[in-house]
Structure 1
Amino acid sequence: MSHLVSIDNVDMRYGGAEGTLAVSGLTLRVDKGEFAAVVGPSGCGKSTLMKLVTGLHIPQAGDVIVAGRQVTEPVSIVGMAFQNPTMLPWRTTLENILLPLEIVERHRHRLRAHKREYIEKAENLLEIVGLKGFGSNFPWQLSGGMQQRANLCRALIHEPELLMLDEPFGALDAFTREELWCVIRDLHAAQGVTIILVTHDLREATFLADKIFVMSSRPGRVLAEHRVPFARPRNLDLMYETPFNDMVHALHGEIANARVAA
């Protein structure tokens, strides 16, 4: 198994030479096909990590390598989903999902001639996430959970090798959040896409991930890396089992200690 993402001894500072050092000596690796989660105290640099991997920020020191290439500009093989779905209100759900195809170069030139093919792909994704028949609805006609399902479709429509999830379920109620954990679990199993999830929810990280990185307080670095031992496929009943809760409590303790040590 090869590394899809390699971050080596990275420093990232905002605001010039005297500005805020967000991460320092940050090092981690995510293998192709893995589901990795990143957890840590507030302000530890989790969102900075997202921007480094996607090429939205270039570090002052160290190397960020994605799919074997040094990151020096925005990375086209990445799909992204955030806590706020930010769907365009004047476009239907289907049109919102197709939006990345108008931007990603390898699809942009094919979109007009092969639009039926892309629409079928989008409708298939909608069916996978439980939104069959909702493609003609506008975002304001969807619940928050439905918008986030559509947001996942939009992140996957251009067939990214890497999916970056930044607190995508944080604004949802507990039941909807758990439903979407199962959706993303099934998408990962079906498509084999590499996923990096940034989250504050330790149950979410433990349920979904193969590997969990625990970050320190700012400036962020990886304090610990844990392999999640639970076999796949995982069902929600797992969260009531003692080994699962022991792991969640251990992660909580590590983060609490990191916060105190700041």
Structure 2
Amino acid sequence: MNQRPSNVMDAFVELKNVSLTYGGRHAGDLVLKGLNLDVGRGEFAAVVGPSGCGKSTLMKLVSGLMQAYEGETIVAGQPVTGPLKIVGMAFQNPTLLPWRSTLDNILLPLEIVEPHRQRFRAHRASYAEAAEELLATVGLAGYGSHYPWQLSGGMQQRASLCRALIHEPDLLMLDEPFAALDAFTREELWCVLRDLWQRKQFTVILVTHDLREAVFLADTIHVMSARPGRIEVTRPIELPRPRDLDSCYEPDFIAIVHELRDHIAKARAL
């Protein structure tokens, strides 16, 4: 059950016996307790589990936005002590700035993250060219001058993915990025994300409630317990790649979805 997929290399993200309480170590709400997680370099990992189990908290720990009171969080071989520059993030809501064009929204991380920040003004044209190439990759060629309010929800989420990837992060963190979209658009963006990951081979951690999404995209799925959260089950997904949407209706795919649903039902009952 814990065997790593054969295409995954050395560990890139490690959480070792991590515990976290909102409100401080000796007070408040215990969110994670004794959580262990291992994600390989270049791996696409998904995290699923009951609502409120601490999935989003886990994301904040890995990205350095929060610190655990117990245990270790290690990324790229280094302890995480603050926000990481090598991380790109996308959330359920695209959070594009309405007064900036789509292109300028995508370029925003380059104005903040070193070493790009120091050379952004001098090299803006080349950065903008890279952003336009990303937009074309996700099907938004020619939309760089549009403002967020001129884009559909699906188009905004495509732009959000571009913004998360523009500084070429080693680790992409995705927190329910497609949950607010209709089913057709959601599946379309699964394929966009699949193609981006297969082309660039960055490490991905995806938090989702959609088990079909997790099985379609991931190498490995980690099932969390109810709060306080820990990893109950690690399930390698050995379905052939590249996966297309038709594979979602294959018996092997459906069987994994049902298996994961059973694990989550048991976790919820504990």
Structure 1 length as normaliser, TM-score? 0.99
Find 2:171's aligned residue among 162, 180, 190: 162
Q: 1:248: how far off?
A: 0.1
Instruction: In structure 2, give the amino acid aligned to 1:45.
Output: G
Q: 1:253: how far off?
A: 0.5
Work out whether 1:9 is the aligned partner of 2:17: yes
The aligned counterpart of 1:189 is 198
SS of the residue 1:119 aligns to: helix
Find 2:260's aligned residue among 251, 257, 260: 251
What stretches of structure 1 move > 2 A for 4+ residues in a row? none
The aligned counterpart of 1:148 is 157
Instruction: In structure 2, give the amino acid aligned to 1:7.
Output: L
SS of the residue 2:122 aligns to: coil
SS of the residue 1:206 aligns to: helix
The aligned counterpart of 2:57 is 48
Q: 1:2: how far off?
A: 1.2
The aligned counterpart of 2:134 is 125
Instruction: In structure 2, give the amino acid aligned to 1:15.
Output: G
Unaligned ranges ≥5, structure 2: 1-8
The aligned counterpart of 1:260 is 269
Instruction: In structure 1, give the amino acid aligned to 2:81.
Output: T
Instruction: In structure 2, give the amino acid aligned to 1:2.
Output: D
Identity of aligned residues (%): 66
**1:188-238 deviation per Cα after TM superposition (whole angstroms, max 9, x unaligned):** 000111100000000000000000000000000000001001111000000
SS of the residue 2:109 aligns to: helix
Find 2:67's aligned residue among 52, 58, 73: 58
Structure 1 vs Structure 2 CA RMSD: 0.5
SS of the residue 2:119 aligns to: coil
Unaligned ranges ≥5, structure 1: none
How many equivalent pairs are there?
261
Q: Distance in 2 between matches of 1:245 and 1:144?
A: 28
Q: 1:116: how far off?
A: 1.0
Once the two structures are superposed, the pairs formed by residues 91-240 of structure 1 within 5 Å of their partners are: 91-240=100-249
The aligned counterpart of 1:82 is 91
Q: Distance in 1 between matches of 2:257 and 2:155?
A: 28
Q: Distance in 2 between matches of 1:15 and 1:199?
A: 26
**1:23-60 deviation per Cα after TM superposition (whole angstroms, max 9, x unaligned):** 00010110110000000000111000000000000100
Q: Distance in 2 between matches of 1:130 and 1:255?
A: 35
Find 2:82's aligned residue among 50, 68, 73: 73
**1:66-104 deviation per Cα after TM superposition (whole angstroms, max 9, x unaligned):** 011100110110000000001000000000000000110
Q: 1:106: how far off?
A: 0.9
Q: Distance in 2 between matches of 1:110 and 1:195?
A: 27
Q: 1:159: how far off?
A: 0.5
SS of the residue 2:194 aligns to: helix
Q: Distance in 2 between matches of 1:94 and 1:245?
A: 39
Q: Distance in 2 between matches of 1:110 and 1:231?
A: 42
